[in-house]
Structure 1
Amino acid sequence: MRADAQKNRSQILTVARDVVTEHGADASMRDIARRAGVGLATLLRHFPSREALFEALLCNHLDALTQKAAELETSTSADEALLTWFRALVTFAQSYRGVVAMMAAAHTNPDSALYASCAAVHSAGARLLVRAQDEGTARADMNGDDLFALITALGWAVDQPSFAPRADQLVHLITSAILSRTQESAA
Structure 2
Amino acid sequence: MAGTVRVDARRNHDLLLAAAREAFAAHGTDASLRDIARQAGVGIGTLYRHFPTREALLEALLRSRFDALRDRAGELSAAAAPGEALLEWLSELAAGSVTYRGLPESVMAALRDEQSQLHASCAGMRAAGGRLLERAQEAGEVRGDVTAAQLLALAAGLAWAGEQSADPQDMVRNLLSIAAHGLTRTAAAAT
For 2:117, give the aligned amino acid.
A
Residue 166 of structure 1: how far off its partner (Å): 2.5
The partner residue of 1:94 within 83, 95, 98 is 98
CA contact (8 A) 1:157 1:163 kept: no
Q: Which amino acid aligns with 1:38?
A: V
Give the alignment's TM-score, normalised by structure 2. Answer: 0.90
Is the 1:12–1:33 contact (alpha carbons within 8 Å) kept by the matching residues of 2? yes
Structure 1 residues 15 and 135: alpha-carbon distance in aligned structure 2, compared to 1, 3 A threshold: same
For the residues of structure 1 that align with 2:95 and 2:171, how far apart are their CA atoms?
13
Question: How far apart in 2 are the matches of 1:75 and 1:179?
Answer: 17
User: Mapping of 1:29-48 within 5 angstroms?
Assistant: 29-48=33-52
Question: What is the identity percentage for the equivalent residue pairs of Structure 1 and Structure 2?
Answer: 42
2:18 maps to: 14
In structure 2, the partner of 1:109 is 113
Q: What is the alpha-carbon distance in structure 1 between the residues aligned to residue 186 and residue 82 of structure 2?
A: 11
Deviations 1:12-69 (A, max 9, x none): 1011111111111111101100000000000010000100000000001011000000
1:136 aligned to 132, 135, 140, which one? Answer: 140
- TM-score, normalised relative to structure 1: 0.92
- 2: CA distance between counterparts of 1:75 and 1:130? 13
Letter in 1 for 2:185: S
CA RMSD for the aligned pairs? 1.6
Question: Aligned partners of 1:4 and 1:169: how far apart in 2?
Answer: 46
Contact 2:59–2:118 at 8 Å: present in 1 too?
Answer: yes
Over 6 Å off, 4+ runs: none
Match of 1:174 among 171, 179, 185: 179
Change (3 A) 1:8 1:76: farther
* Post-superposition CA distance 1:58-92 (Å, at most 9, x none): 00101100000011001342011101101100111
Shift of 1:181: 6.5
Residue of structure 2 equivalent to 1:55: 59
- Structure 2: distance between partners of 1:181 and 1:70: 26
Give the structure with higher Rg (CA). Answer: 2
Q: Secondary structure at the match of 1:75?
A: coil
Structure 1: tracts of 5 or more residues without a match: 183-187
Q: CA deviation at 1:162?
A: 6.2
Q: Alpha carbons of 1:76 and 1:31: their partners in 2 closer, same or farther (altered >3 Å)?
A: farther
Deviation at 1:3, TM superposition (A): 0.9
Q: Is the 8 A contact 2:159 2:172 kept in 1?
A: no
